[in-house]
Amino acid sequence: MNIHSINTHMSKTILITGSSTGIGRATATYFANHGWKVAATMRTPEKESELQTHENIEVFRLDVTDQHSIDAAIASTIEAFGKIDVVLNNAGYGTAGPFEAATKDQVKRQFDTNLFGLFDVTRAALPHFRERKSGLFINISSIGGLVTLPTFSLYHSTKWAVEGFSESLAYELRPLGIHVKLVEPGGVSTDFAGRSLDFLQKEGLTDYDPTIQKITALFSDPERSLSYSSGEQIAEVIFEAATDGKTQLRYLAGDDAKEFWAGRQQLGDDAFHGMITERFLGEG
């Protein structure tokens, strides 16, 4: 068996950020069940007891806001599995509420996690990918990286930045044999809308209340969550992106995301903004 055939028979390896719950966790299990070696990274691995019982999964500490932990997790993954083929930038959370109510700290924390953290993980993995002349970054954006709703301006701005970053980086890395893809989930039944939402509120700031009430009513409509995907369904799309060999940049994930995006394209800018205004603010 020559070196080439050894390499092609070696299991592929994926490093995932934010694997403690939700999409990251479902993806770790999905890839491991499909024979991939998985570095399931998370902020508090000491709380994890299940994932590492899978023969294909190793759990490492990685907080995307802590460069030392990023470097250490990448080094541990290469030591454990010999290489990394795919980095899944998944860790993230949302802020919700009127922009005016956001403190500077809330703004900073949102960008530190969803954007600067993703930058730092990407930059740290690049020397390994360049050395191997191959590698794939899959960045979890959101349908909210392509369209917006009221009261999520900070979250959208991080995801729109992830979109622009990923698209430009894809051009830049392609000549080096390295690829970048984006997965855009719609609503997903995870902890995201619960513990992963940071609400922006300011005492005495009541002018936005009618808007907040309308948005809250729309989001808490039980009908709405019927269209949500499961973490496993998003994991399937991530697996397709990792294995289809295509140079496709964007993968919409979930029927709601596909429908929303199709509507956006059919209507064009102004009519789409009018539709969102009517649906979410009740104005024509």
Ligand X SMILES: NC(=O)c1ccc[n+]([C@@H]2O[C@H](COP(=O)([O-])OP(=O)(O)OC[C@H]3O[C@@H](n4cnc5c(N)ncnc54)[C@H](OP(=O)(O)O)[C@@H]3O)[C@@H](O)[C@H]2O)c1
- CA–CA separation, 163 vs 27, rounded Å? 21
Nearer to ligand X, 8 or 44 (CB): 44
Output the smallest distance, CB 192 to ligand X, in A.
3
> Is the alpha carbon torsion for 259, 263, 189, 183 positive or negative?
positive
> Is the alpha carbon torsion for 163, 165, 168, 170 positive or negative?
negative
Burial of 168 (0-12, 13-18, 19+ CB in 10 A): exposed
Output the smallest distance, CB 10 to ligand X, in A.
28
Q: Which of 22, 91, 48, 40 is nearest to 235 (CA)?
A: 22
Nearer to ligand X, 11 or 153 (CB): 153
**Would you tell me how many other CB atoms lie within 10 Å of the CB of residue 123?**
11
Is residue 155 flagged as an active site residue?
yes
Q: Which of 137, 124, 3, 13 is nearest to 78 (CA)?
A: 13
Element holding 249 (H helix, E strand)? none
Output the smallest distance, CB 218 to ligand X, in A.
14
Pairing of the two strands 178-185 and 135-140: parallel
> Is the alpha carbon torsion for 107, 110, 116, 117 positive or negative?
positive
The active-site residue out of 12, 37, 83, 159 is 159
Quick one: which segment of 32-40, 164-172, 183-191, 238-246 binds ligand X (CB under 6 A)? 183-191
- CA–CA separation, 168 vs 164, rounded Å? 6
User: Which one of residues 67, 196, 211, 230 is an interface residue with ligand X (CB under 6 A)?
Assistant: 196
The active-site residue out of 141, 142, 157, 166 is 141
User: Which one of residues 85, 137, 185, 233 is an interface residue with ligand X (CB under 6 A)?
Assistant: 185
User: Which one of residues 32, 121, 188, 242 is an interface residue with ligand X (CB under 6 A)?
Assistant: 188
Residue at shortest CB range from ligand X: 22
Nearer to ligand X, 92 or 98 (CB): 92
CA–CA distances in Å: residue 68 to residues 4, 63, 117, 242: 34, 9, 12, 27
Per-residue x/- mask for ligand X, residues 102 to 121, rule CB under 6 A?
Answer: -----------x---x----
Per-residue x/- mask for ligand X, residues 6 to 35, rule CB under 6 A?
Answer: -----------xx-xxxxx-----------
74 in contact with ligand X (CB under 6 A)? no
92 in contact with ligand X (CB under 6 A)? yes
Residues with catalytic function: 141, 155, 159
Q: Residue numbers of the site for ligand X (CB under 6 A)?
A: 17-18, 20-24, 42-44, 63-65, 90-93, 113, 117, 140, 142, 185, 187-188, 190-192, 196
